[in-house]
Structure 1
């Protein structure tokens, strides 16, 4: 019985050794192939000239505002205009009862005639005494009195003439005229109302709104940054009359007419840290009304050292900083932190963080990370630089132009 078991165990051992031998003689297992490098599209960063602009909020205000007030006391007899209608300069708006002022004028006219008659009599007497004193027919005292009476009569005539002029002015004030050409507002008084000169009763307001002002608020740091860029030569300012301003209205629509920059404030508001920037716009159709909220875009210079990067090539990290992936000469991806605060022509304007000739990833960046190897190909349609501001006819341009009010930032 024991020899049989030994023979069976030996047979099993031989079979196992045979299988191991066959396995050892088989082909070796091959390693898994390395993954292919991601395909990305890039653009080559090139410095270009980009208009320096800034967007500022603001409100419209009338070009001229005239508060029409009463300058004499009296009852309003008539209103001669339609509320909200356009009025011309010197057009009559109200009529205040002129009767008492016409009577006052007649009274001073009579007083002037009396004074002129007295002057004529005093002058004649002075002339006669002048002849008689030569023959000692009158005393020297009498002659002096006649000359003094003549001077007093002349002064009375001058006072009477001034009173006539004053009475005439007051009579003229009874017809209330518009001091400017513009659009009238609501009338504050009606026929039969009593107005007073001492209280300067407000009758109505006339506003000229063509052209119209737009008052903007600019952070003082923006002007400070632009001054630094100008001093370093990075930004070249346009001429004073070339700063183009465009408006976006409250409903998001674009105002069709461009405006011009008037001035930049010289005092910083301590409560807001901003300065006032004023622009002027033509308003022939009265689309803009005083008090409207608008956004203005001011183009005032050119940055010759900027890069334009498509929106697809720029992202933002959790800290809010703009970043981009750049492909290095060794095909490795490097992440750069950029300074990109403005947009132009649908692309980010990058002022720092890139170098001339950098390969910026604009497509396929979502599947790469810093340090990865990639296969890069040039994007077929690189971004085009936006048009630079066109100098106004006859206005100086270039770095030697007169320095305008500084409002824009990079």
Structure 2
């Protein structure tokens, strides 16, 4: 009787133990298993993403004119203020003109003499022509008079050319600005001897409003952009040249946008690069020739792209960009991405992700493809900091986070 009672008590105790184990098993964690890892996610939303090319470049003058003398002489006066604006036609230098005035006067006298000779030859020819018609002179005399007249006319034309040359030389004693712009310092002083077409410029005028910026990009980027346009992954609305924004050497943004005005039609054999030229208004003369700048060129928009935070993109063993998403059954799926550059702190992803998918942005350090997870909706601020609530796991049906 006592043995039966003890056996009954043992069976009851074993029943409680089994019930307790059964209750623990119903909590979601299999015997010997580990709790599912919580991961933060945002819901992907496709959008039209503007794409920019970040290029470096230097400022160059819109036009440059190096002032050189066209005659030999002595500088008599300098008639401009260095570093100031000049207008085309303004007098810059004057060269002593005494010998050029004398040469002009001599050429004018030679022309007068040639014209007088021409008149005499013309009269002789007219007279001999009348006499020859009356058989008073021979044909030979008439021919000689005609030759003399032609020679006299040629002498007049030669004298006119000499006079024009003398006039040009005399005019060149006054050196004028060929273009509008800002003139630099004078390399000579009053009394200096200058020579025709000398190597050193007397001064240099630069047009800097508008001003140009020469930007350099690689030929591989050019081909990639062209492929994106042809494939429909990149396009521009409307017509007109692409706009360009500048960042100055001190990190400040240049206030006024410019436009692409020229693209070279060849690629440098030594560097594999080509040049884009952009034009900018420069009323305040902030942009100076030689200045280094960074430019952001508007290439257009990429339709149906995703902005994926940098923290959510990793690299696989082959160096390809990958990301993790949460599937409908709360398991991790790995995706290989195709990117189209950066936008702020985000990657522009064109392939590998779908609208409405839950992208893992936090907690992926402890997961792998196929692992079960507990998804928690998160947000990411402008600094890339993840904010999420780990106390109330989000369901798969009401997620509303949007990837930045």
Give the TM-score, by structure 1 length.
0.82
Contact 1:126 1:150 in 2 (8 A): yes
What are the Cα deviations for residues 88-142 of structure 1, in whole angstroms up to 9, with x where unaligned?
1111111111111110000000000001111111111111111122222222222
SS of corresponding position for 2:175: strand
What are the Cα deviations for residues 357-396 of structure 1, in whole angstroms up to 9, with x where unaligned?
3210234445544433223244465246xxxxxxxxxxxx
What are the Cα deviations for residues 205-259 of structure 1, in whole angstroms up to 9, with x where unaligned?
1000111111111111111112222222222245552411111111111111101
Call closer, same or farther: CA 1:186–1:319 in 2, change over 3 Å.
Answer: farther
* Aligned match of 1:308: 307
Which aligned pairs between 1:230-241 and structure 2 lie closer than 5 A?
230-238=229-237, 241=240
* Aligned match of 2:386: none
Distance 1:143 1:205 in 2: 61
Contact 2:61 2:208 in 1 (8 A): yes
SS of corresponding position for 2:271: coil
Contact 1:68 1:204 in 2 (8 A): yes
* Aligned match of 2:121: 122
Distance 2:402 2:45 in 1: 10
Contact 1:67 1:205 in 2 (8 A): yes
Contact 2:43 2:403 in 1 (8 A): no
What are the Cα deviations for residues 36-94 of structure 1, in whole angstroms up to 9, with x where unaligned?
43443422223221122211111111100001111000011111111211111111111
What are the Cα deviations for residues 127-178 of structure 1, in whole angstroms up to 9, with x where unaligned?
1111122222222222221121111111111111111111000111111111
* Aligned match of 2:253: 254
Q: Verify: 1:382 aligned to 2:402, yes or no.
A: yes
SS of corresponding position for 1:202: coil
SS of corresponding position for 1:233: coil
Call closer, same or farther: CA 1:383–1:134 in 2, change over 3 Å.
Answer: same
Contact 1:115 1:157 in 2 (8 A): yes
Call closer, same or farther: CA 1:312–1:201 in 2, change over 3 Å.
Answer: closer
SS of corresponding position for 1:210: coil
Which aligned pairs between 1:350-389 and structure 2 lie closer than 5 A?
350-366=349-365, 368-379=367-378, 382-383=402-403
Distance 2:360 2:193 in 1: 77
Contact 1:61 1:215 in 2 (8 A): yes
Which aligned pairs between 1:141-160 and structure 2 lie closer than 5 A?
141-160=140-159
Of 141-150 and 246-255, deviating more is 141-150
Contact 2:234 2:303 in 1 (8 A): yes
Call closer, same or farther: CA 1:227–1:160 in 2, change over 3 Å.
Answer: same
Q: Verify: 1:207 aligned to 2:239, yes or no.
A: no
Contact 1:242 1:300 in 2 (8 A): no
Distance 1:60 1:319 in 2: 40
Which aligned pairs between 1:104-123 and structure 2 lie closer than 5 A?
104-123=103-122
Q: Which runs of 5 or more residues in structure 1 are unaligned?
A: 1-17, 385-410
Give the TM-score, by structure 2 length.
0.83
Contact 1:42 1:361 in 2 (8 A): yes
Which aligned pairs between 1:125-204 and structure 2 lie closer than 5 A?
125-204=124-203
Give the deviation of 1:22 after TM superposition: 8.2
Distance 1:294 1:381 in 2: 38
> Aligned Cα RMSD in Å?
2.6
SS of corresponding position for 2:83: coil
Which aligned pairs between 1:237-316 and structure 2 lie closer than 5 A?
237-238=236-237, 241-315=240-314
Call closer, same or farther: CA 1:217–1:363 in 2, change over 3 Å.
Answer: same
Give the deviation of 1:263 after TM superposition: 2.4
Q: Verify: 1:57 aligned to 2:56, yes or no.
A: yes
SS of corresponding position for 2:103: helix
Distance 2:376 2:10 in 1: 51
Q: Which runs of 5 or more residues in structure 2 are unaligned?
A: 1-5, 379-399
Distance 1:198 1:232 in 2: 55
SS of corresponding position for 1:228: helix
* Aligned match of 1:67: 66
SS of corresponding position for 2:235: strand
Contact 1:314 1:323 in 2 (8 A): yes
Of 52-61 and 230-239, deviating more is 230-239
Give the deviation of 1:300 after TM superposition: 2.2
Instruction: Provide the aligned length of Structure 1 versus Structure 2.
Output: 365
Contact 1:195 1:201 in 2 (8 A): no
Distance 2:354 2:298 in 1: 25
Distance 1:363 1:282 in 2: 46
SS of corresponding position for 2:209: strand
